[in-house]
Amino acid sequence: MGSPNRLKILLVEDDELFRLGLQVRLQQETAIEVLIEAEDGETAIDLAKQQPFDLVLLDMGLPGLGGLETCRQLKQNHPKLPILVLTSRNDRSLIARLVAAGAQGYCLKGVAATTLILAMRSVIAGASWWDATATAEIQNLFQNHPTDNLPTLTLNPLTPREQEILNLIATSKTDREIAEILYITPGTVRVHVHTILHKLSATDRKQAVLLAVRGKE
């Protein structure tokens, strides 16, 4: 893994124009040290065996092996490797398969660059990134198939770490205090807070705490 401030990203995308546009945008991020590209899943799997990455940005519509099977094999070989899926379709039927394959979330192609960067930072920090449609589908999966071989899911859209941070926010802890308690950096705390606000559709920390409390009632 690279250092928290110098990231190595593997971009797996067969659309040359989209890949070029994304490459130009990502190279503006000073935190990204290395951006390696692959046009298909087979190449991506080989590259991941040769060197460590902090994140894989994975297109679903790949030729050959395909995005879903690429995701499954990458996670099988590297269980802790964060994978953020890029897709052009907001397809509810795809979400269950992504969860089962081990993806940490997805972004729709065409999403604002700032949102994509936030999603990347969130997933690298150990959080997940699912939009409202995906969160609703995951909740549905949990309710209807609680014993299926899916990763642990809860009705709460927050990950255990995000819930932990929200609980500390509720006790009026600052980012620095939370960082010291959890042995992470203040920057990582801020990424988690951004993700919490996004998932709960909250405008600030106070509203996030109130929404979480209401969700438990």
- Per-residue pLDDT, 217: 47
Q: 3-state DSSP: the chain helix, strand, coil percent, rounded to 5?
A: 50, 15, 35
Task: Find the mean pLDDT for residues 142-171.
Answer: 66
- Per-residue pLDDT, 147: 44
Element (DSSP H or E) covering residue 106: strand 105-108
Residue at 27: amino acid letter: Q
- Per-residue pLDDT, 2: 45
Q: Is the pLDDT of residue 153 over 60?
A: no
- Per-residue pLDDT, 143: 62
Q: Is the pLDDT of residue 148 over 60?
A: no
For the stretch 30-79, pLDDT in tens is 888 889 999 999 999 999 999 999 999 999 989 888 999 999 999 999 99
Q: Is the pLDDT of residue 213 over 80?
A: no
Separation between Cα atoms, residue 77 and residue 49, nearest integer Å:
8
The residue assigned the tokens 């379709």 is 89
- Per-residue pLDDT, 1: 47
DSSP β-bridge partners for residue 37: 11
Instruction: Give the number of residues written for the chain.
Output: 217
